[in-house]
């Protein structure tokens, strides 16, 4: 049972079984005497059909897999709670947002989008950020992403988008990657995706950790108060650890060294008590401001800049418990943006409207039954009573003869709730319109906010976008697709297009061809739906840049340091660093030529956590080479050189003290070291506090990107 302040609890023991001190049985409860041998006709004879134990075991095994999610198949989740810090009862009657200190149980699942269930965590991709709130008024799902806009404006293009990004159908290549022809073919014909493309080519698409990502509800939603009044709202999750990314080269190497990098990071952080935490914020837009901006609030390819509407923090989410069983919880959880509670409502965003159909539909094929709400992880803590009946794998045993409403035989039960009693009533929006299949002209700006995003980035971030585009388009085989993309990029920023073109050995086309079929009907192709650039009223927004992000804090909590050791290492140095890191809730790991014990300069022994073979510098946030005797063993070791080379290339903090500075002096990058490089902490003294202080302060900066050549200059 999870203990929550408000009394309502989520029963985590529901349907649990740990098998400890129990007999092995069949699914029918019959004790099994021999689980190692099938029933045979004679010692060397054929197996017998009669063997119900074997048949049951194999049959169950044969059906263990369910279809993976069509998108967001790869993910990891955890339990936790949401706590209201600044209630907003004047804006919403949603109970879970109304009272300071109220805690609501949650389960959050983070995911990539394109890859299969077993694909790498470090793909360049949007990350899903879905949170299920088990509120006292029913389930509320905030099914969000770590990027605040989306590729397309209308749900009818979603299957096309997903077909284009998934592995190509003829050869099922490439896995979990957008760097291929079909994706860029589609994008080059869909100018509306340009804002999203800027985000996905930025380092947002390669987070350091799920715990270091922002989350965004993307669509404009509505909050509804007791009086039935509506306010527009955008949801934001702000991570306590700040928003951080890895380098693209690093991401690719992590994918080989540890494809479970994000999954393991989330799991270990929770096991170690470093509970991930986010603040939930809202941008509040009064109903009368609906048409005030140069963009349409219903267009999911647009943000509301924080300069125009600041984010008001309403609560915090803490994830404090790992699932007990991945399949039962993380795999079977079923999110749906249509799971809302009184006090929250939809807008007419045509992407959201399509989503409202898609999610239940997909659960039917994935989980196989309309009873998916009865799976323990999906159950509401608010009581469920209705006349829905039967279906595959029904758990509930409904008592009585009445399964319809209205009824008299059941005393009219279950009965409808008045709005004052918490009954859900949709916002009473007036709609008076023609039935049309068209895109609103207010959705025509495809480049204005893409430009705002790009202009808001630091030189390093712009350089990373250039590099990402060179990589992605460089993997495209069809020249015409590359050229079309350069044309679209030139509408965002000419220098960006030119720098990408330089990497592709191409030139930017002089005129932008309006792509054929760019998401509109043939009648409208060259007419009122020409892609446009509407200049943003905000020139630059710090909140859009990871490096300028005002919410980033210089903490190193839960960060990992590789301490490179060999026999003769200074015990004092290792202890000094480990203790200093622990005080900051970070951790040092001994990485040595082999597993087992390393002899110290004091004839003591330190156990290695990893050998050079079982870990890699890309799996750590910083590298430290401590003083010691016999350091030539490290200087001559190719693995050590690779550790240092990668750490330098990925702009990480590298520290060495005492005689170990010679190891850095012998590294491949030694000649390039600049005196201004604040990420290289080298000192001739050993085991000093000043050294660890400087090392830790540098780690708080995350990375020293100035080391890289800038591609946008
Ligand atoms: Fe979606 C899963 C987020 C557009 C259809 N979506 C899914 C998940 C997240 C999102 C986080 C994974 C949930 C989990 O962890 O189980 N999706 C988004 C966001 C979107 C978006 C933020 C745009 C703003 N999605 C979108 C559209 C459609 C879908 C336009 C279809 C019309 N999404 C689905 C789906 C999935 C899904 C096919 C696959 C698995 C699932 O629902 O449960 O129904």
Kindly report, residue by residue over 539-595, the tens digit of the pLDDT. 999 999 999 987 788 899 999 999 999 999 999 999 999 999 999 999 999 999 999
Which of 17-26, 132-141, 311-320, 601-610 is predicted with the least confidence, judged by mean pLDDT? 17-26
| Least confidently predicted of 515-529, 599-613, 636-650 | 515-529
Distance from residue 35's CA to the centre of ligand 1 (Å): 42
Report pLDDT for 550. Answer: 79
**515 pLDDT exceeds 70?**
no
pLDDT, residue 520, reads: 67
Instruction: Please say if the pLDDT value at position 524 is more than 70.
Output: no
What average pLDDT does the structure give for the chain? 95
Measure 180 CA to ligand 1 centroid, in angstroms: 22
Query: Which residue among 108, 143, 162 has the greatest number of ligand 1 atoms within 8 angstroms of its CB, and so is best to mutate?
Result: 143
pLDDT score at 8: 56
Number of helices and strands (H, E) in the chain?
Answer: 17, 18
Q: How far apart are CA 221 and CA 344, in angstroms?
A: 7
Q: Cα(356) to centroid of ligand 1, in Å?
A: 10
CA of 71 to the centre of ligand 1 (A): 7
Residues with CB under 6 A from ligand 1: 69-72, 75, 109, 111, 128, 130, 143-145, 150, 155, 158, 218-219, 300, 335, 351, 354-355, 358-359, 362
* DSSP structure class, residue 307: T
* Ligand 1 atom nearest to CA at 152: 30
CB 266 within 8 A of CB 258: no
* pLDDT greater than 70 at residue 317: yes
pLDDT at 460 over 90: yes
Residue 144 alpha carbon, nearest atom of ligand 1: 22
Q: What is the pLDDT of residue 528?
A: 58
Whether the pLDDT of residue 665 is over 90: the answer is yes
Can you give the pLDDT at residue 553? 82
pLDDT category of residue 6 using cuts at 50, 70 and 90: low
Average pLDDT over residues 248-277: 97
> Which of 13-22, 348-357, 460-469 is the least confident region?
13-22
pLDDT digits (tens, 9 = 90+) for 35-75: 999 999 999 999 999 999 999 999 999 999 999 999 999 99
pLDDT digits (tens, 9 = 90+) for 357-372: 999 999 999 999 999 9
Residue 219 annotated to the active site: no
Asked if 673 contacts 641 with a C-beta cutoff of 8 angstroms, the reply is no
Nearest CA to ligand 1 atom 29: 355
**What is d(CA 122, CA 114) in angstroms, rounded to the nearest whole number?**
12
| Exposed / middle / buried, residue 236 (Cβ in 10 Å: 0-12, 13-18, 19+) | buried
Q: Terminus-to-terminus CA distance in the chain, angstroms?
A: 57
Confidence bin at 20 (pLDDT 50/70/90): confident
SS3 206: coil
CA–CA dist 163, 184 (Å, integer): 12
Q: Which atom of ligand 1 is nearest to the CA of 72?
A: 12
Question: What's the whole-number mean pLDDT along residues 466-483?
Answer: 97
Per-residue H/E/C for 171-192:
CCCCCCCCCCHHHHHHHHCCHH
Give the active site residue among 3, 60, 79, 145.
145
b/e burial code for range 599-634 (CB count within 10 A of at least 16 → b): bbbeeeebebbbebeebbbbbbbbbbbbbbeebeeb
**Which of 72, 79, 339, 464 is flagged as catalytic?**
72
| pTM of the full structure | 0.96
Q: What is the mean pLDDT of residues 516-521?
A: 62
Q: Using 50, 70 and 90 to split pLDDT, how confident is the model at 231?
A: very high
Q: In terms of pLDDT, which residue wins out, 651 or 4?
A: 651
Is 145 one of the catalytic residues? yes
Domains of the chain: 40-378 (2.40.180.10), 454-544 (1.20.1370.20), 560-711 (3.40.50.880)
Ligand 1 closest atom vs CA 363:
43
């Amino acid at each position: 049972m999870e203990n929550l302040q408000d009394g309502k609890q989520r029963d985590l023991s529901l349907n649990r079984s740990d098998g400890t001190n129990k007999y092995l049985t069949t699914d029918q409860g019959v004790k099994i005497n021999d689980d190692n041998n099938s029933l045979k006709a004679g010692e060397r004879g054929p197996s017998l059909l009669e063997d119900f134990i074997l048949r049951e075991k194999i049959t169950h095994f044969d059906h263990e897999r369910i279809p993976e999610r069509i998108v967001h198949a790869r993910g990891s989740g955890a339990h936790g709670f949401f706590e209201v810090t600044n209630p907003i009862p004047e804006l919403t009657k949603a109970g879970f947002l109304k009272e300071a200190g109220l805690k609501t149980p949650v389960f959050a699942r983070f995911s990539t989008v394109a890859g299969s269930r077993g694909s790498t965590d470090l793909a360049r991709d949007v990350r899903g950020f879905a949170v299920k709130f088990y509120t006292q008024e029913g389930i509320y799902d905030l099914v969000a992403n770590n990027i605040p806009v989306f590729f397309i404006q209308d749900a009818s293009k979603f299957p096309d988008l997903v077909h284009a990004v998934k592995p190509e159908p003829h050869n099922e290549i490439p896995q979990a990657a957008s760097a291929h022809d079909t994706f860029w073919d589609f994008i080059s014909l869909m100018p509306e995706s340009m804002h999203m493309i800027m985000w996905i080519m930025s380092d947002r698409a390669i987070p350091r950790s799920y715990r270091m990502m922002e989350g965004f509800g993307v669509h404009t939603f509505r909050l509804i108060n007791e009086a039935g009044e509506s306010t527009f709202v955008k949801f934001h999750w702000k991570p306590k650890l700040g928003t951080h990314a890895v380098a693209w080269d690093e991401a690719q190497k992590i994918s080989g060294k540890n494809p479970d990098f994000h999954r393991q990071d989330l799991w270990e952080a929770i096991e170690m008590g470093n509970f991930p935490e986010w603040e939930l914020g809202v941008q509040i837009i009064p109903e009368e401001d609906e048409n005030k901006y140069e963009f349409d609030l219903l267009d999911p390819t647009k943000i509301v800049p924080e300069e125009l509407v600041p984010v008001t923090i309403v609560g915090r989410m803490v994830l404090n418990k790992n699932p007990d069983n991945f399949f039962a919880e993380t795999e079977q959880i079923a999110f749906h943006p249509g799971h809302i509670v009184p006090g929250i409502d939809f807008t007419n965003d045509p992407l959201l409207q399509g989503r409202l159909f898609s999610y239940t539909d997909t659960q039917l094929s994935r989980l196989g039954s309309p009873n998916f709400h009865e799976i323990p992880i999906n159950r509401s803590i608010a009581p469920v009573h209705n006349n829905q009946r039967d279906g595959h794998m029904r758990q509930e045993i409904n008592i009585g003869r009445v399964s319809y409403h209205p009824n008299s035989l059941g005393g009219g039960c279950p009965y409808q709730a008045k709005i004052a009693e918490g009954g859900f009533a949709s916002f009473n929006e007036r709609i008076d319109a023609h039935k049309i299949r068209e895109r609103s002209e207010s959705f025509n700006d495809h480049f204005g906010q893409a430009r705002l995003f790009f202009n808001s980035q630091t030189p390093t971030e712009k350089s990373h976008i250039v590099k990402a585009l060179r990589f992605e388009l460089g993997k495209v085989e069809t020249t015409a697709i590359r050229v079309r993309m350069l044309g679209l990029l030139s509408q965002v920023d000419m220098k960006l297009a030119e720098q990408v073109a330089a990497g592709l050995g191409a030139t930017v086309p002089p005129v932008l061809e309006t792509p054929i079929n760019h998401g509109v009907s043939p009648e409208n192709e060259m007419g009122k739906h020409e892609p446009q650039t509407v200049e943003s009223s905000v020139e630059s927004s710090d909140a859009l840049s990871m490096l300028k992000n005002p919410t980033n804090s210089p903490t190193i909590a839960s960060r990992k340091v590789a301490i490179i050791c060999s026999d003769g290492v200074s015990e004092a140095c290792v202890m000094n660093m480990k203790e200093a890191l622990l005080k900051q809730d970070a951790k040092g790991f001994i990485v040595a030529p082999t597993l087992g014990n390393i002899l110290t300069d004091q004839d003591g022994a330190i156990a290695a956590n990893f050998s050079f073979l079982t870990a890699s510098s890309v799996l750590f946030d910083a590298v430290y080479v401590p003083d010691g005797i016999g350091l030539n063993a490290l200087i001559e070791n190719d693995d050590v050189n690779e550790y240092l080379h990668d750490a330098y290339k990925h702009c990480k903090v590298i520290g060495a003290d005492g005689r170990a500075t010679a190891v850095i002096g012998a590294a491949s990058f030694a000649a390039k070291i600049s005196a201004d490089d604040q990420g290289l902490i080298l000192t001739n003294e050993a085991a000093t506090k000043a050294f660890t202080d400087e090392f830790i302060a540098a780690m708080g900066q995350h990375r020293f990107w100035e080391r890289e050549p800038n591609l946008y200059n």
